[in-house]
Structure 1
Amino acid sequence: MSDYNTTHTPYVIPKLQGLYATLAPLTVLYMRVIAGAAFMVHGWPKILDPMARIGMVEGLGFHPGWFWAPLLAATEFFGGLMLVLGLLTRPAAFACSIVLCVTTWFHWVVQAEGFGGAETSLLWLSITLYFVAHGGGRFSVDRAIGRQF
């Protein structure tokens, strides 16, 4: 896992190096927790009634809905929880990234909203893809147990 080390690049104001080194892992923690919490908020109603979204997922072309609707609920809620904790961060972020690819396609193509409609999904996708590539960071369960996927 990366320490988000800032010591290899010369700074215009060298005294800021320590500040940046301190802030870097905290901002990664903040980004991971907010992203995970957002997924949990979106997944919570789906977890309460996973079969309620069968029509929605089938309307997007995912058949059979009885399979995909609970999978969507679990991915959003439990994937979000795993991101919050930084546990199995890469697979959780990858699963969330797939959901965001679908929402991007839905807004851009199906709803014909273009970039403006897909913009939020694209921004969230950039965050989840960051965690696919970098892992959970210094303040994660993955780091605490000394294992990452």
Structure 2
Amino acid sequence: MAPNPAFFAEWTPRVLSLLRIVSAYLFLLHGTAKLLGMPHVAMFDDLQLVSLTGLAGVLELVGGVLLLLGLFTRPVAFVLSGEMAFAYFIGHASRGTPLIPMLNQGESAVLFCFVFLYLSVAGGGAWAVDAVRGKASPLQGAG
């Protein structure tokens, strides 16, 4: 039985939205843990807002909310992809095993980096504020 192209054409934008929503929620939790203490992560107890980790928390909180809504998806996802690349090379690869993220606890950073890079090109999908607005800014593009 051959795949039905109409099925994929109909469901691809919806599944893209699910990928965006779930990824944004998981990412947003990192920001709320750092800045709001929810969920509580002991290593963030004495977080200084004016630090790399504090800046990361702001990007994760604001960017996570924007991605969750699908608002300015492409530029936001591009910035967050860069943040995760930076986080990987500064915080994980420097532990001596740059090519093996499993050994330097960098798997999440790598995965977020590439999911966000994909979203920066693909857009937010069918269930995004960007799709409802129907307007494309020069940075946003269609979708």
Verify same fold: TM over 0.5: yes
Equivalent position to 1:141, from 124, 129, 132: 129
Higher-Rg member (1/2): 1
Residue 68 to residue 104, structure 1, CA distance change in 2 (3 Å) = closer
SS of corresponding position for 1:52: coil
TM-score between both structures, scaled by the size of structure 2: 0.75
Distance between the aligned counterparts of 1:123 and 1:90, measured in 2? 17
Answer yes or no: is 1:107 the counterpart of 2:92.
Answer: yes
Answer yes or no: is 1:52 the counterpart of 2:46.
Answer: yes
Equivalent position to 1:96, from 80, 91, 114: 80
Alignment length (residue pairs):
126
Which residues of 2 match residues 115-126 of structure 1 at below 5 A? 115=100, 116=102, 117=104, 118-126=106-114
What are the ranges of 5 or more consecutive residues in structure 2 without an aligned counterpart? 38-43
TM-score between both structures, scaled by the size of structure 1: 0.72
Q: Percent same amino acid among aligned pairs?
A: 27
- State the one-letter code of the partner of 1:93: A
| Bigger fraction of residues in helix | 1
What are the ranges of 5 or more consecutive residues in structure 1 without an aligned counterpart? 1-11, 55-64
Partner of 2:7: 19
